[in-house]
Chains A and B, each alone.
Chain A
Amino acid sequence: MSTVTHPPAGPGQAPPSDRTPGPPAAVGGGAGAKVFNGFSHLFLAVWAIMVVYPLLWVIMSALKTDSEVIRKPLSLFPETLQWDNFARAWTEGQIGSFFLNTVLVLTGSVFLTMLLGSMAAYVLARYEFPGNRLIYYMFLSGLTLPVYLAAVPLFKGVYNMGVTLPFLGPNSYFMLILVYVAWSLAFTVFFMHSFFRTLPNAIAEAAMVDGASHSRLFFSVMLPMAKPGLISIGIFNVLGQWNQWYLPTLLMQSVADEPKKQVISQGLIELSVNQGYRSDWSGLFAGVTMAMLPVLIVYIVFQRQVQSGLTAGVSK
């Protein structure tokens, strides 16, 4: 690298004159830098293609006829666009109803997770009372334990509840909402706890002097101040619960002639098995596309928030 050629400049001295003018080669390591720049682009582009190509392939295959999927599996350009694959997957493959089920459950569960999670985190972070540490560590321990450990007793507990209270038994939306909330609390409390700790005391005291009650203080002062944290953890929970598959697979098993209330990831697994038997590959691709596209579109629109939200979730 040619940057070494001039003697180190002392403090206060003007920068060496050969840095400002001259051909760019003289500045930045010359041909070596150019080659490296080219190599960077090449490698990054190859990885980008490895990420995008499979996704694009799925979407494009969803627009082919079945015979075309078999004859020309690799081409990215369908002969004619087969929109009815989507219609078929939506109605026959029931992706439509799985989709609505998921949205219904998520509306309730994300709202409740955020509300209950920040309430608990707030109290644990800002109030001293006996048992505070115990409850906090109880939430923390949930972060390390594998869900499979709880699977059998959880199913049994839900099943027993359903005997007396059917709306809390297996295959009920309300039950699934509560389960999602409970299982999301650990991380939500952990994350919001550190957030509420950093909020200044002075504002809380001022509000109290003005006569605000504890809950008023929380809802109209503290919660709005914690908005950046709420957005991060909100994104985390939406993605996490949308992508949940083990809990619904365990708990949303329809009994006898009850209608299926499955969520999208279950529906997708089922679709993959069924369409495989029927060799309806284009229908399967359409199903995967429909499960994939909404999330991708939302991500592309909000990519800045999603990226910073999720990375904050890991590095906090």
Chain B
Amino acid sequence: MRHGVGRFVTGFLALPVGLYLFYVVWPFLQAAGYSLTDWGGYSDRQQFVGLDNYLRLFSDELIRKAFWHNVFFLVTVPLFTIALALFLAFLLNVGGREDKAGIRGVFGSGLYKVIFFFPQVLSLVVIAVMWQQIYRADGQGLINGVLMKIGLVDENDPITFVYDPEPFLGVPAVLWWLLVIAVWSGAGFYMVLFSAAMQSIPKDIYEAAILDGAGRFHTFFRITLPLLRDTVSVAWVYLGFIALDMFALVYIMTPSQGGPNHASEIFASVINFNAFQRGQFGYACAIAVALAIFTILLAALQLRITRRERIEY
């Protein structure tokens, strides 16, 4: 019997583990190795340079830019997405009239949930190509077109969106325009997530609160929000990962994949730029390892901050 188990376990694990080792683990380990060399990527010449690449990170102007842009997305993407999603979920679930059964959701909430979820099933590429057209810097673009029609934007001076490196509130405008897309595409999903969590809160808690004279704002802030803590913190971690992964939007939408004039550079685009345009694979790998360490630290930090005793109900 024991022998049979061993064979069974090996048989079931061999293929998945083998694939995973070859296509995922091994490349990661190699990347860590290359980060210690000066490999250019196109030649066979590789020389061990120790931690030189890592030291170079600290004096690289582009990396510094990318770092702060990553931090910008890391703060704003979760913040705006969660705030908007919570607000929408709040309206959806307690926006209806109050009656004997307590506070209700709005009429048609099912339809809203279906519609708000749309962007989630579309790929980032579809969304990016679509928003390229929405953001066009002439009368053909959806936003410029509408604003020109109602006279808010001068035809000869359209909004340039992702081509605009001018700072707005201290951050290049192009980043704000990318942020809009990220929030647009994410809010619906998190709204559905929060909405599901809200509905799993037992009704009698609300009934008791309403009986005690709590209005809907009170019930929301004193009961719903605290009980949603777990879900919100999970959402925060996920959105953190998404924020680090804004590369698709930067790659497809911005001029020269990180432009204009490096105004929308993020870690991933700097890796791409160094590896495939400058031909500095070793250095690109060092940036990637730094990003990986940054990501893991961040995930650990987020889990630490958001961990708290679970509320059972």
Chain A interface residues (CB < 8 Å from chain B): 1, 3-4, 8-9, 19-20, 24, 27-29, 33-34, 36-37, 39-41, 43-44, 47-48, 50-55, 57-58, 61, 69-70, 73-74, 116-117, 119-120, 122-124, 127, 129, 135, 138-139, 142, 144-146, 148-154, 156-157, 178-179, 181-183, 185-186, 189, 213-215, 218, 239, 242-243, 245-246, 265, 268-269, 271-272, 281, 284-285, 288, 291-292, 295-296, 298-300, 303, 306-308, 310-311, 314-315
In the bound complex, what is the Cα–Cα distance between A45 and B23 (angstroms)? 46
Q: Does B301 contact A (CB under 8 A)?
A: no
In the bound complex, what is the Cα–Cα distance between A308 and B195 (angstroms)? 11
Query: What chain A residues lie within 8 Å of B197 (beta carbons)?
Result: 315
Query: What chain A residues lie within 8 Å of B291 (beta carbons)?
Result: 146, 148-149
- Give min CB distance, A273 to chain B, whole Å: 10
Query: What chain A residues lie within 8 Å of B292 (beta carbons)?
Result: 144-146, 149
Query: What chain A residues lie within 8 Å of B146 (beta carbons)?
Result: 74
Query: What chain B residues lie within 8 Å of A154 (beta carbons)?
Result: 23, 27
Residue in A closest to B28 when the chains form the complex, CB atoms: A150
Tell whether, in the assembled complex, residue A315 and residue B95 are in contact, meaning their CB atoms are under 8 Å apart: no
Residue in A closest to B244 when the chains form the complex, CB atoms: A146
Ordered by A's residue number, 30 sampled pairs between the chains whose C-beta atoms are within 8 Å are A3-B215, A24-B99, A27-B100, A41-B106, A47-B88, A47-B187, A48-B116, A51-B116, A73-B139, A74-B146, A120-B16, A127-B8, A129-B5, A129-B6, A138-B20, A142-B20, A144-B299, A145-B292, A146-B268, A146-B291, A152-B31, A152-B285, A182-B20, A243-B124, A268-B126, A268-B129, A272-B252, A291-B125, A291-B126, A296-B118
Tell whether, in the assembled complex, residue A149 and residue B22 are in contact, meaning their CB atoms are under 8 Å apart: no
| B20-69 contacts to A (CB < 8 Å) | 20, 22-28, 30-31, 34, 41
- Give min CB distance, B259 to chain A, whole Å: 15
Give the number of residues in B that approach A within 8 Å (Cβ atoms). 101
Q: Does B134 contact A (CB under 8 A)?
A: yes
Contacts A48-B116, A73-B140, A129-B9 given; does A295 touch B95 at CB 8 Å: no
Query: What chain A residues lie within 8 Å of B299 (beta carbons)?
Result: 144
Q: Does B12 contact A (CB under 8 A)?
A: yes
In the bound complex, what is the Cα–Cα distance between A153 and B30 (angstroms)? 6
- The answer, among B31, B125, B244, for a CB contact under 8 Å with A268, is B125
Tell whether, in the assembled complex, residue A303 and residue B117 are in contact, meaning their CB atoms are under 8 Å apart: yes
Contacts A3-B98, A44-B88, A272-B132 given; does A73 touch B141 at CB 8 Å: yes
Q: Per-residue 0/1 for B249-278: is the Cβ within 8 Å of any A Cβ (1 yes, 0 no)? A: 000100000000000000110011001000
Query: What chain A residues lie within 8 Å of B156 (beta carbons)?
Result: none
In the bound complex, what is the Cα–Cα distance between A51 and B122 (angstroms)? 12
In the bound complex, what is the Cα–Cα distance between A312 and B244 (angstroms)? 22
In the bound complex, what is the Cα–Cα distance between A153 and B142 (angstroms)? 41
Tell whether, in the assembled complex, residue B295 and residue A146 are in contact, meaning their CB atoms are under 8 Å apart: yes
Tell whether, in the assembled complex, residue A307 and residue B25 are in contact, meaning their CB atoms are under 8 Å apart: no
Q: Does B96 contact A (CB under 8 A)?
A: yes
Q: Name the segment of B159-167, B169-177, B230-238 touching the other chain.
A: B230-238
Query: What chain B residues lie within 8 Å of A39 (beta carbons)?
Result: 91, 95
Residue in A closest to B144 when the chains form the complex, CB atoms: A73
Query: What chain B residues lie within 8 Å of A144 (beta carbons)?
Result: 292, 295-296, 299
Query: What chain B residues lie within 8 Å of A151 (beta carbons)?
Result: 27, 271, 275, 288
Query: What chain A residues lie within 8 Å of B124 (beta carbons)?
Result: 243, 245
What 8 pairs between A and B have smallest CB-CB spacing? A40-B95, A28-B98, A243-B123, A182-B23, A150-B27, A153-B30, A149-B288, A4-B213
Query: What chain B residues lie within 8 Å of A57 (beta carbons)?
Result: 134, 142
Q: Is the interface of A mostly helix, strand, loop or mixed?
A: helix
Contacts A51-B119, A120-B12, A153-B27 given; does A135 touch B106 at CB 8 Å: no
Q: A3-B98, A54-B130, A146-B292 are in contact. List 16 more A-B contacts (CB 8 A).
A: A24-B97, A44-B106, A50-B184, A51-B184, A53-B142, A70-B140, A74-B145, A116-B16, A146-B288, A150-B27, A157-B30, A215-B8, A265-B123, A269-B252, A288-B129, A299-B121
Residue in B closest to A29 when the chains form the complex, CB atoms: B98
- The answer, among B4, B189, B213, for a CB contact under 8 Å with A310, is B189
In the bound complex, what is the Cα–Cα distance between A90 and B92 (angstroms)? 40
Tell whether, in the assembled complex, residue A281 and residue B140 are in contact, meaning their CB atoms are under 8 Å apart: yes
Tell whether, in the assembled complex, residue A311 and residue B196 are in contact, meaning their CB atoms are under 8 Å apart: yes
In the bound complex, what is the Cα–Cα distance between A10 and B231 (angstroms)? 35
In the bound complex, what is the Cα–Cα distance between A241 and B179 (angstroms)? 24
Tell whether, in the assembled complex, residue A185 and residue B19 are in contact, meaning their CB atoms are under 8 Å apart: yes
Query: What chain B residues lie within 8 Å of A48 (beta carbons)?
Result: 112, 115-116
In the bound complex, what is the Cα–Cα distance between A272 and B125 (angstroms)? 10
- Give min CB distance, B258 to chain A, whole Å: 13
In the bound complex, what is the Cα–Cα distance between A195 and B125 (angstroms)? 32
Tell whether, in the assembled complex, residue B20 and residue A149 are in contact, meaning their CB atoms are under 8 Å apart: no
Query: What chain A residues lie within 8 Å of B113 (beta carbons)?
Result: 307
Tell whether, in the assembled complex, residue A119 and residue B12 are in contact, meaning their CB atoms are under 8 Å apart: yes
In the bound complex, what is the Cα–Cα distance between A41 and B104 (angstroms)? 13
| B280-313 contacts to A (CB < 8 Å) | 281, 284-285, 288-289, 291-292, 295-296, 299
In the bound complex, what is the Cα–Cα distance between A144 and B23 (angstroms)? 16
Tell whether, in the assembled complex, residue B99 and residue A149 are in contact, meaning their CB atoms are under 8 Å apart: no
Query: What chain A residues lie within 8 Å of B13 (beta carbons)?
Result: 119-120, 123-124, 135
Query: What chain B residues lie within 8 Å of A69 (beta carbons)?
Result: 140
Residue in A closest to B296 when the chains form the complex, CB atoms: A144
Query: What chain B residues lie within 8 Å of A186 (beta carbons)?
Result: 20, 24
In the bound complex, what is the Cα–Cα distance between A70 and B97 (angstroms)? 46
- Give min CB distance, B224 to chain A, whole Å: 15
- Give min CB distance, A288 to chain B, whole Å: 6
Interface centre among A39, A242, A299, A311 (most CB of B within 10 A): A311
Interface centre among A9, A61, A73, A119 (most CB of B within 10 A): A73
Tell whether, in the assembled complex, residue A314 and residue B247 are in contact, meaning their CB atoms are under 8 Å apart: no
